[in-house]
Amino acid sequence: MGTRQPRSEREQAARDLGKHAQSGDAGRELIVGLGGIPPIVDLLGAGEAVSSRQEAAGVIAQLAFQHDGCQDAIRQAGAIPWLVDLLGSIYSPAARKRAAVALGHLADGHLKNKMNIMHVGGVKSLVTLVRSVEARKAKVEALYALGQFCEPDPCKTMLVRCGGIPALVGSLGDNEPMQVRTRARRMLLVLATGTEEHQRLIKESGGERLILSLYDELDEHYGSDAKA
């Protein structure tokens, strides 16, 4: 059996792979081809220091960004359950933030990954993170990841079932940063469009004024389309 590298060396190796990922698709394809993803996922697993897991989540986020091959390889290596675990409240806001970004990049345009994330409770964990007071610095990233589940319909259903609508309405307060309010509003617009049940849930969650303004936005949108 080979001797396992020290943690610091494995973290540095992960960072080096992250730099290669930033070089573009060719760099990421080389990493996949050379079998570089499983060691990063190993660093993400339980039993590793939180700093190592956080480092691995950041590299996975870089690799997964708009790259189908990396999205597949990362899922196949078993990263998704560990990333969902890293969203938990026992971890630092910084670690939860990186995990949310990684999950968002893995889900972006990738139905199989969305289904995997839903299967291991990722949507519920992201909703919990959005509602978390102690991890407000991770809220924008959690909303980004949740935004991937506004479509197709099975994902939208899961988002609503996990309490997504009250969490989104709660993100519209004046005390929230503009970026948080903008993301939440955009998602609620998608959820409300053409679905009376979702509109009712938004109203019951305290978003009645929002529904009225969304109607105005829809009227403007379709009116401009008709004039085009």
At 123 the pLDDT is 98
What's the domain range around 12? 1-114
Burial code (b: 16+ CB inside 10 Å, e: under 16) for 161-171 equals ebbbbbbbbeb
Residue 41 within any structural domain of the chain: yes
Residue 190 within any structural domain of the chain: no
Would you put residue 200 in left (φ > 0), alpha (ψ -120 to 50) or beta? alpha
* End-to-end Cα spacing for the chain: 68
Low-confidence ranges of the chain (pLDDT < 70): 1-25, 46, 214-228
At 20 the pLDDT is 59
From start to end of the chain, where are the E strands?
Answer: none
Cα within 13 Å of Cα(144), Cβ side? 19
Q: CATH number for the domain including 2?
A: 1.25.10.10
At 211 the pLDDT is 72
Residue 20 within any structural domain of the chain: yes
Helices 25-33, 7-21: inter-axial angle, 10-degree rounding: 140
pTM reported for the whole predicted model: 0.86
Residue 16 within any structural domain of the chain: yes
Place of tokens 């190592």: 52
| Residue 60 identity (one-letter amino acid) | I
Please state, in angstroms and as integers, the Cα–Cα distance from residue 21 to each residue in 80, 174, 228, following that order. 19, 38, 42
At 203 the pLDDT is 87
Task: Answer yes or no: are the C-beta atoms of 218 and 193 closer than 8 Å.
Answer: yes
Residue 150 within any structural domain of the chain: no
Q: How many CB atoms lie within 10 A of CB 182?
A: 15
Task: Answer yes or no: are the C-beta atoms of 41 and 56 closer than 8 Å.
Answer: yes
Structure token pair of residue 4: 């396992």
Whole-angstrom distance, CA of residue 17 vs CA of residue 40:
9
Domains in the chain, number: 1
Q: Is 228 exposed, middle or buried (0-12, 13-18, 19+ CB in 10 A)?
A: exposed
Structure token pair of residue 184: 């939440």
Residue 23 within any structural domain of the chain: yes
Residue 172 within any structural domain of the chain: no
At 2 the pLDDT is 45
Residue 182 within any structural domain of the chain: no
Q: What is the pLDDT of residues 129-175, one digit of tens each?
A: 999 987 788 999 999 999 999 999 999 999 999 999 999 999 998 88
